[in-house]
Chain A
Amino acid sequence: MNSNKKISFGWQILVLTLLVTGYVFLGGCGKKTQKTQKVYRVGILCGLDYIGSIPDIFKLEMAELGYIEGENIVYDVHRTNFEPVKEKQILQRFVEDKVDLIFTFPTEVSMAAKAATQGTDIPVMFAIANIEGTGLVKSVRDTGGNITGVRYPGPDLAIKRFEVMRELAPEAKVMWVPFQRGYPIVSSQMEVLHPAAEAVGVTLIEFPADNAAEVQAELNARDKLDDIGFDVILFIPEPLSCTDDAFEVIARFAYEHKIPVGGITMQVGDYKSLFGIDVDDPKTVKQAAKLAEKILKGTPASTIPVISSESYFEINYRAAQELGVEVSRGLLSRADKIIR
């Protein structure tokens, strides 16, 4: 095979000479380029208060990679909390400003960003976005558009949360699952959850709500009943349970009825969830920053495969004690973090 043949000394000298020539001539150009270095503009849209710290983490990670805000990069950061209209306007402004990159999270704003940039060459990078059932990308390896990012393994996390909840409450037969009404990734999770629950004889009660008040009303109504109708409360990956007021309403109800509540790591006042299985935000943002660097350096987003976030498992051992839930040693052994 020709490729196995050693390159002769003469060829090596020739290649070296060409490289030196290129180095000498292009070196000067490179310096000139450096003097007129481009200042990148990145539009960031955070669509959920729960992960509102991500922009700052992202800036720090980008700074680590040499993108200093104000020097060679500027950010246009906007924060919303499940506000589709406003999000659409922000994204439209990003498009009009012809930013170099739109960074969005979580799923719904990422989908909106993809829609807003249709027909443009503005790349979109997402994080903490569920790709299953959302149409955000075609596949992990082939995104099918000028978009890439760090995926949020929503269905898998939902199942995992369900499985952990069963380990914590193996006697539970009915799980109440509140979620943000109309939130796009819920259906894909429910699609995998229902069969999994049915397989082990567990019933899932879905409760879509628009806000905490609606949840409060529902729980108040159940509270008046002899049987509240479920044994545990399971949070799936969605925004409603991540809001303090909604979580407080739900957690207070759980504490009052001594029923396990968990899925995400939350604490509002004295109310805590039992456990949380989610992605590691700092690691996710770090990966997103690396992707952003590649995109800003010119790699088409469509050619960059989607990275999967690694899950992170926390157990609030104190909450378990407060709720009278026994946590097995095996579960504790698997936990990445135990809150005592």
Chain B
Amino acid sequence: MIFKTKKTKPFRSLWVTLAIAFLALSALVLLISSSLNMYFSFQTQQKLITNEQKFIAQNAADTVQSFIQEKFSTLKAAAHLSNPVETNQEGQNLILEKLLGLEPAFRQAILLNAKEERLAKVSRLSSLVSGQLTERISSSLFSQASQVQTYIGSVYIDEITSEPLVIMAASVTDIFGDFKGILLAEVNLKFMWDLVGNIKVGNKGLAYVVDERGNLLAAGDISRVLRGENLAHLKEVNEFVMGDTLTHKDSAEIVKGIQGNYVVANHVHLGTPDWAVIVELPVLEAYETVITTLIVSGLILLLSFALAIIFGIYLSKRITKPITSLKDAAARIGEGKLDIQIEIKKKDEIGVLAAAFNQMAHDLQRTTTSVDNLNWEINERKKAEKSLEKLNKDLKSTVALLTQSNRQLQEFTYLAAHDLKTPLRGISTIAQWLVDDYQEKFDDEGRQQINLLVKRVTRISELINAILQYSTIARNRHKECPVDLNTLVETVLIGIEPPPNIEITFNKELPVVICGEKHIQQVFYHLLTNAIKFMDRPDGHITIDYTDKGDLWEFSVSDNGPGIAPQHFERIFQLFQILGDRDQSEGIGMGLTLVRKIVEMYSGKIEIKSNIGEGSTFFFTLPKQEMVEHQTLVESR
């Protein structure tokens, strides 16, 4: 199977196409206009030439005709003035001799009577060569000549000189007009040569005479006449020979002339004799005006074409320059150079196009900038996402590790606390046995030390219990259920048994919340215990309140106790942190730590507002609907 590859056309600039189109159009218009101009000029000139040729040909014919008529006039005068037939021999000879003397073209003259008898003969030639005329006089000739007043025969050639001769005759009549004879003359047509040769036909034109057979009789070039040329092959002569006897032709034709060159020819038939005068004017001369017009037209055409080329190229470039600028600009935009602006101030379609292009470039630049930014942003985001993903992954891994560590730590803590509790309980028991059994045996210092030991062991036990409690908060699952906080708080207060100097009030009835009852109980327990424990006023007042904040509850426990310095706000929530002397303190610094852990375990927050000497308020929040999430969170921990 043969696949034809599609040839791609080579690039051709628009200005070249435009220039070619312009040139083609210009050339077409110029050629058409020049052709029309030439055509009409030619037609006009041809008519002028025709008329001029007619005039010249007629003049030439008149010249030749006058030559013939002059000979006839001489013959007729000789025939009529002195009736030579009835004159004596001497008189007849004298008449003929006078005839020859009068007319150099007459070579010989013969007088015949009505009976065709020769009365006299006079010759310019010697008897040696004068016999040719006698031989040509026949009955036929006499018959023809006798029927007309004047007669001219066919041309014949002199055997010695090759000169054309013709017999002319005039009838001789008496005073009554009766036919008495014929006066014949042999006319040498060489005397017509100079006459014809001198006919002026333009500058280089010529005239010549041919007989009815196309034989050349007279011309400027006598050698051609002497050669006895027959010119019937020439178109103009041929027309005459073939019977075209039109005196004038409608149009001068371009034909081959007697000299082989192209001529404008015309002929005039003389009638009698049956000859024609041909006039020829070289085409270059005849059409000189046309040729000049042609040359000028040609030069103008060339000049116009040159101008058309120049203007075509100029205009094409001028027209396509903005388009080329647009193309170049488009190419540069294609290369990424979006800051291109085309300076075209034209107020036309190109100008509008350029403005639109500039706007497009501007928009494209802006769009491209946005896209770049967007791409950059996308890339950055992708990077961030990848980073985040990695971080998440790391975080998950870390969280998993932390969870695992935390779990291990919780388990360790639990186990450690649990495992320490047993020996500690033994130590406590032993210490208590010592106190109980050997108190008396100890001196005061011994007793004091043993009491301190019991006290420290008790404290260690409390610490271990606190650690166990802390560690089991997350471990122990409490069934979340609606908890009436009013009942719960009252239950807590019953367990605490606040002193009488402390008034505990509720600003309003507390809501029912969904949570682990033990957990919320511990929260209120530790907050109220701390408020009571650190109350230094005789009129202690503790207020329990809450605020509904949409999707969460914000509870508060306020007291008018000693207050806490702001620098201790964070510290008080830390494990085993105690403000003041540890040994003097009843607590172990675990309550608020547990409270915060429980609140945060329920996705809440705890904070403190306190002023020294004015009291403290602990705020903590609980989400209203956190049952499931809380459960999940608790499970995850």
Contacts and interface: CB of A to CB of B under 8 A. Distances in A.
Interface of A: 1, 3-4, 6-7, 12-13, 15-17, 19-20, 23-24, 140-141, 148, 151, 153, 155-160, 162-163, 192, 196, 287, 290-291, 294, 299, 303-308, 310-311, 329-331, 333-336
Contacts of A196: 126-128
Contacts of B238: 1, 3-4
Given A13-B42, A159-B127, A334-B101, A140 B93 contact: no
A305 B284 CA distance: 30
Contacts of A163: 126-127
Given A140-B160, A333-B100, A20 B294 contact: yes
A141 B290 contact: no
Given A24-B295, A141-B226, 19 more contacts: A1-B238, A3-B233, A3-B238, A4-B242, A12-B253, A12-B254, A15-B254, A20-B291, A141-B162, A151-B161, A156-B160, A159-B126, A159-B127, A160-B125, A162-B126, A196-B126, A290-B222, A308-B161, A330-B93
Given A23-B291, A330-B97, A156 B283 contact: no
B283 A15 contact: yes
B162 A140 contact: yes
B124 A334 contact: yes
A19 B122 contact: no
Contact of A1 (B104, B242, B295): B242
Contacts of B391: none
A294 B242 contact: no
5 interchain residue pairs of minimum CB distance: A159-B126, A305-B226, A330-B97, A308-B161, A333-B101
A7 B127 contact: no
Given A156-B129, A330-B122, A308 B163 contact: yes
A237 B284 CA distance: 49
B290 A331 contact: no
B394 interface: no
29 contacts: A1-B242, A4-B238, A4-B242, A12-B253, A13-B42, A15-B283, A16-B42, A16-B290, A16-B291, A17-B294, A19-B283, A19-B284, A20-B291, A20-B294, A20-B295, A24-B295, A148-B223, A159-B127, A163-B127, A196-B127, A287-B222, A303-B227, A305-B162, A305-B226, A307-B226, A310-B104, A310-B190, A333-B98, A333-B100
Nearest to B220: A290
Interface core residue of A19, A158, A333 (most chain B CB under 10 Å): A333
A4 B235 contact: yes
Nearest to B232: A3
A334 B100 contact: yes
Contacts of B221: 294
B222 to A, nearest CB: 6
B228 interface: yes
A162 B127 CA distance: 10
B414 interface: no
B223 A304 contact: yes
Interface in B216-240: 221-223, 226-228, 233, 235, 238-239
B254 A311 contact: no
B391 to A, nearest CB: 95
B300 to A, nearest CB: 15
Contacts of B94: 329-330, 333
Nearest to A195: B128
Nearest to A313: B124
B287 interface: yes
Given A140-B162, A308-B160, A329-B94, A19 B126 contact: no
Interface in B252-293: 253-255, 262, 283-284, 287, 290-291
A280 B38 CA distance: 54
Contacts of B122: 330, 334
B82 to A, nearest CB: 13
Interface core residue of B98, B101, B242, B287 (most chain A CB under 10 Å): B101
Interface of B: 38, 42, 90, 93-94, 97-98, 100-102, 104, 122, 124-129, 160-163, 190, 221-223, 226-228, 233, 235, 238-239, 242, 253-255, 262, 283-284, 287, 290-291, 294-295
Contact of B97 (A153, A310, A331, A336): A331
A305 B227 contact: yes
Contacts of B100: 333-334
B126 A156 contact: yes
A3 B231 CA distance: 13
Contacts of A4: 235, 238-239, 242
A311 B129 CA distance: 13
A333 B124 CA distance: 11
Contacts of B38: 13
A274 to B, nearest CB: 17
A196 B254 CA distance: 55
A333 B42 contact: no
Contacts of A333: 94, 97-98, 100-102
Given A4-B239, A305-B226, A23 B129 contact: no
Given A163-B127, A196-B128, A311-B124, A7 B255 contact: yes
B227 A15 contact: no
B256 to A, nearest CB: 10
A17 B226 CA distance: 36
Given A140-B162, A311-B124, A3 B235 contact: yes
A305 B127 contact: no
Nearest to A163: B126
Contact of A15 (B104, B160, B233, B262): B262
Nearest to B261: A19
Contacts of A6: 253
A157 B100 CA distance: 17
A310 to B, nearest CB: 8
Nearest to A306: B226
A186 to B, nearest CB: 16
B205 to A, nearest CB: 15
Contacts of A155: 126, 128
A192 B239 CA distance: 46
Contact of A141 (B228, B284, B295): B228
A141 B129 CA distance: 18
Contacts of B160: 140, 153, 156, 308
B370 to A, nearest CB: 71
Contact of A159 (B128, B163, B235, B287): B128
A163 B284 CA distance: 55
Contact of A7 (B128, B129, B242, B254): B254
Nearest to A312: B104
A16 B128 contact: no
Interface core residue of B126, B129, B160, B287 (most chain A CB under 10 Å): B126
A334 B108 CA distance: 11
Contacts of A334: 97, 100-101, 122, 124
A156 B295 contact: no
Given A7-B253, A7-B255, A23-B291, A16 B127 contact: no
A124 to B, nearest CB: 15
A335 B97 CA distance: 9
A333 B122 CA distance: 11
A306 B162 CA distance: 9
Nearest to A157: B126
B510 to A, nearest CB: 126
A310 B100 CA distance: 14
A16 B242 CA distance: 27
Contacts of B161: 140, 151, 153, 308
Contacts of B162: 140-141, 305, 308
Contacts of B126: 155-160, 162-163, 196
A326 to B, nearest CB: 14
A303 B42 CA distance: 39
Contacts of A158: 126
A335 B254 contact: no
Contacts of B93: 330
A187 B238 CA distance: 47
Given A13-B42, A16-B290, A156 B128 contact: yes
